[in-house]
């Protein structure tokens, strides 16, 4: 049969015979439309097979399959074209099409199909596939399509073409870069924003943030801001709705790199770059848990023999230095653990300085690109749309700071006043005034967060944009624009706060309080998920004054809101002073009570947070407050909660012995023996075996103490009638009886031999 021959040729050891597989594929080109469509559905699988069998099919994919897929892009049958487009996208996503085939076989066909004389259906489909391919192509390949894309944006005959271009406009801008965006694409974007069809204007509003990130601060302020204002006051409600949803994200692109001082870790958490008490913009200081620690300063020498400009000279005028995240995982680990400075080899550091030193980058390295890190986030709540929107806004603000630093690196001027030093009319009108409206900070806080300069106070964002954002809490807007406009305002508030800076928090304070008391729980939930990020942005004083009361209110809210603060309870509490932090010890027990007892993930999240929170409190507080919660969670009805709680118990015991509180540790051990080892239920006895195993694995206590206080009880379970208990006892014993000097003494003392081990 044909199938039998195909299989025979495919797995033949003869390379000549294996090429017959591709010859059979040619037959399908002249078959019925249903056959061609079916072939296109199988193309990705065939391509993967060829890729994995390259020794037998060295160039079969490029020679046979790619031409078939490209040919079917012009097939007269609509279904065949659709399946070929889908197959092409899959091949690109899997990285099976090489750059040469894309440039020589795929792109020419797309250019032909988008010619003005091309058939309407073909052109619309080709534009759509072209825009989808943009994110998967290299910058050089996209530049080949850029001129045609600009022509398609002005297609006066087919509004479907303009709509597709508008929907994907941001992708082109982000790939081709700032110069091409401002020179070629910006005029087209203005035309699309004023298109006669509201759907096209709405598509422009949706991608406004991405376009803004691809422009210079001057273009963003002088051209895009008025353009956005026209969209937010559009006659179409749907356009206004999309514009308000994008307003906060657009504002976040105005972030000033000299005032953000924040960066994302690999797990998506927002962290503050430590500052020096003498100069908030100095990278020479790392704050430790006991106060600021000044890193030894040194003055590297340039290759031409000149020393690096002084810190004072580099921090004047346009030379506001900025901080960057750790350059490697080890340094990030060091900063995350009590914010200790990393230790580097001096010789290696000097050698690297000599080779790659740049006097500008030494003081002002650009913020790291976080786009790939955000795509790899694995936090449990990242599938929540509230959190996704907030991360997008915060990342946009930090990306804007990165782009501004790149422009400065290239010598572009980012001064917000004319060269003569006098502010222009627009700058005078669009300013955020803070004088006389902010509560003075205590000396300790002022040392950490110096008073903002006049440049930092003014011209953060155009005043019109800020006024429009603040109006999103107006009840009239919910009636005329979007019923969930308050939720969109809450989505983007951390990004707006990051952009304005803590010196302008008074501009957002009333809006935040209004959102925190909104009748819609979805709005309050959104704020609850991001209050820890906002606390990091505002600093400890503003957090204690303005966020702690709202945080306390969220603790008593619905479970849908409480879960937001619970997931980041540690992140918020660690930002508080010790005296304020201790007040929450009395409230942790309240998390055990939920609106729905079946909501076991709530209790699971509590156990996870308690493991982290322990480092914030003394061993006495842990013993008096967290111990009982942990023991209660260990008896939960849900196994997932119990298992994470066993780990919590182990961590508590480890803290007792690490702090030298052996008496408390012994009391806790006796409590574990009574509660678990002597438990009438086999689940409790199994838990005791697991806890013992974890104690040994993590070296929670001296092994002689373990042998004296825990091992006898563990051995008593070796003949437990339940197999599941005996299995864990066996694992614990295997871990326990390592080649240590005391292990032989234990064996002799308890006459324990391998013959009594459970099997």
Q: Which of 613, 618, 434, 415 lies closest to 509 in space, CA to CA? A: 434
In the predicted model, what is the mean pLDDT of residues 335-340?
37
Is a pLDDT exceeding 60 seen at residue 61? Answer: yes
pLDDT in tens, 445-473: 433 444 444 444 477 889 999 999 999 99
Question: How much is the pTM?
Answer: 0.68
Query: Which DSSP category does 73 fall into?
Result: T
628, exposed or middle or buried, with CB in 10 Å at 0-12, 13-18, 19+?
Answer: middle
**More confident: 357 or 32:** 32
Residue 155 is predicted with a pLDDT of: 86
Q: Give me the percent of the chain exceeding a pLDDT of 90.
A: 38
Q: Is residue 600 scored above 80 in pLDDT?
A: yes
pLDDT mean over 728-740: 77
Torsion of CA 116, 118, 121, 123, to 10 degrees: -50
User: Which tens digits make up the pLDDT trace of 290-322?
Assistant: 333 333 333 333 333 333 333 233 233 333 333
* Alpha carbon distance 135, 130 (integer Å): 10
671 vs 341, residue with greater confidence:
671
Q: Read off the pLDDT of residues 629-671 as tens digits, 9 standing for 90 and up.
A: 999 999 999 999 999 999 999 999 999 999 999 999 999 999 9
pLDDT for residue 329 is more than 50 = no
CA dihedral 116, 117, 119, 124 (to 10 degrees): -10
CA-CA distance, 263 to 192, in Å (whole number)?
34
> In which element (H, E) is residue 294 found?
strand 291-294
* Both structure tokens of 671: 């409590």
Q: How many CB atoms lie within 10 A of CB 259?
A: 24
Match domain 2-193 to its CATH number in 1.10.10.10, 3.50.50.60, 3.30.160.60, 1.25.10.10: 1.25.10.10
172 vs 184: CA distance, rounded Å: 11
Q: Is the pLDDT of residue 398 over 70?
A: no
Would you state the structure tokens that stand for residue 647, as one six-digit string?
Answer: 């780990």
Q: Considering only CA atoms, which of 491, 454, 452, 502 is closest in space to residue 469?
A: 491
Please report the pLDDT score of residue 621 as a whole number: 94
Instruction: Please write the tens of the pLDDT for every residue from 687-731.
Output: 999 999 999 988 888 888 898 999 999 999 988 999 999 999 998
Round to whole Å and give the CA distance between 503 and 458: 11
Q: In degrees to the nearest 10, what's the CA dihedral of 606, 609, 615, 621?
A: -10
Asked if the model's pLDDT at residue 24 lies above 80, the reply is no
Query: pLDDT tens-digit profile of 223-246?
Result: 999 999 999 999 999 999 999 999
Among residues 140, 139, 194, 137, the alpha carbon closest in space to that of 162 is found at: 194
Q: How far apart are CA 256 and CA 361, in angstroms?
A: 17
CB atoms within 10 A of CB 626: 23
Confidence of residue 94 (pLDDT cuts 50, 70, 90): confident
Do 96 and 51 contact (CB within 8 A), yes or no?
A: yes
pLDDT in tens, 97-114: 887 888 888 888 888 888
Tokens of 253: 């692109």
The larger pLDDT score, comparing residue 434 to residue 215, is at 215
């Amino acid at each position: 049969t044909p199938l039998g021959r195909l299989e025979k040729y495919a797995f033949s050891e003869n390379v000549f015979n294996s090429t017959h597989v591709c010859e059979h594929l040619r037959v399908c080109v002249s078959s019925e439309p249903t056959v061609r469509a079916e072939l296109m559905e199988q193309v990705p699988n065939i391509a993967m097979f060829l890729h994995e069998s390259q020794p037998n099919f060295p160039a079969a994919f490029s020679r046979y399959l790619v031409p078939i897929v490209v040919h079917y892009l012009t097939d007269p049958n609509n279904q065949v074209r659709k399946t070929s487009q889908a197959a092409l996208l899959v091949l690109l996503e899997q990285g099976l099409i090489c750059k040469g085939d894309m440039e020589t076989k795929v792109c020419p066909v797309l250019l032909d199909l988008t010619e003005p004389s091309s058939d309407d259906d073909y052109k619309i489909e080709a534009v759509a596939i072209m825009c989808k391919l943009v994110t998967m192509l290299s910058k050089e390949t996209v530049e080949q399509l850029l001129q045609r894309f600009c022509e398609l944006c002005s297609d006066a005959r087919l509004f479907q073409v303009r709509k597709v271009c508008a929907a994907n406009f941001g992708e082109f801008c982000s790939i081709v870069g700032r110069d091409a965006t401002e020179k070629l694409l910006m005029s087209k974007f203005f035309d699309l924003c004023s298109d006669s069809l509201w759907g096209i204007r709405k598509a422009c509003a949706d991608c406004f943030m991405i376009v803004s990130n691809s422009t210079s601060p001057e273009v963003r302020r002088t051209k895009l801001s008025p353009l956005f204002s026209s969209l937010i006051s559009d006659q179409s409600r749907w356009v206004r709705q999309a514009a308000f949803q994008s307003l906060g994200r657009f504002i976040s692109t105005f972030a000033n790199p000299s005032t953000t001082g924040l960066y994302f870790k690999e797990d998506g958490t927002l962290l503050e770059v430590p500052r020096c008490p003498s100069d908030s913009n100095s990278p020479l200081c790392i704050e430790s848990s006991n106060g600021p620690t000044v890193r030894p300063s040194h003055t590297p020498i340039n290759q031409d023999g000149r020393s690096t400009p002084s810190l004072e000279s580099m921090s004047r005028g346009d030379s506001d230095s900025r901080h960057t995240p750790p350059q490697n995982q080890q340094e990030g680990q060091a900063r995350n653990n009590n914010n200790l400075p990393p230790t580097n080899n001096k010789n290696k550091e000097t050698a690297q300085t000599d080779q790659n030193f740049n006097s500008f980058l030494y003081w002002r390295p650009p913020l790291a690109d976080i786009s790939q890190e955000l795509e790899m986030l694995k936090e449990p709540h990242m599938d929540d749309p509230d959190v996704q929107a907030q991360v997008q806004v915060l990342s946009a603000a930090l990306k804007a700071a990165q782009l501004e630093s790149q422009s400065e690196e290239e010598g572009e001027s980012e001064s917000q006043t004319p060269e003569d030093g006098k502010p222009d009319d627009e700058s005078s009108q669009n300013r955020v005034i803070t004088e006389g409206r902010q509560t003075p900070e205590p000396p300790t806080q002022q040392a950490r967060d110096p008073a903002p300069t006049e440049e930092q106070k003014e011209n953060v964002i155009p005043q019109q944009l800020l006024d429009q954002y603040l109006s999103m809490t107006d009840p009239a807007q919910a009636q005329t624009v979007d019923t969930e406009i308050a939720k969109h305002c809450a989505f983007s508030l951390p990004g707006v706060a990051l952009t304005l800076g803590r010196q302008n928090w008074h501009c957002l304070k009333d809006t935040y309080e209004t959102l925190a008391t909104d009748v819609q729980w979805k709005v309050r939930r959104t704020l609850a998920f991001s209050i820890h990020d906002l606390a990091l942005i505002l600093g400890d004083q503003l957090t204690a004054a303005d966020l702690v009361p709202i945080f306390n209110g969220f603790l008593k809210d619905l479970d849908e809101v409480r879960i937001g603060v619970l997931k980041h309870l540690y992140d918020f509490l660690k930002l508080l002073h010790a005296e304020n932090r201790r007040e929450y010890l009395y409230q942790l027990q309240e998390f055990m009570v939920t609106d729905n007892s079946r909501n076991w993930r709530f209790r699971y999240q509590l156990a996870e947070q308690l493991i982290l929170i322990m480092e914030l409190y003394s061993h006495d507080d842990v013993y008096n407050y967290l111990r009982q919660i942990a023991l209660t969670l260990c008896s939960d009805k849900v196994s997932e909660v119990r298992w994470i709680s066993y780990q919590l118990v182990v961590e508590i015991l480890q803290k007792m012995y690490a702090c030298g509180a052996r008496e408390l540790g012994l009391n806790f051990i006796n409590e574990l023996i009574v509660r678990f080892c002597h438990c009438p239920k086999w689940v409790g006895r199994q838990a005791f075996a697991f806890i013992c195993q974890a104690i040994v694995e993590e070296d929670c206590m001296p092994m002689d103490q373990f042998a004296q206080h825990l091992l006898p009880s563990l051995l008593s379970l070796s003949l437990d009638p339940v197999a599941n208990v005996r299995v864990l006892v066996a694992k614990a014993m295997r871990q326990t009886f390592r080649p240590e000097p005391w292990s032989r003494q234990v064996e002799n003392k308890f006459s324990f031999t391998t013959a009594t081990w459970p099997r």
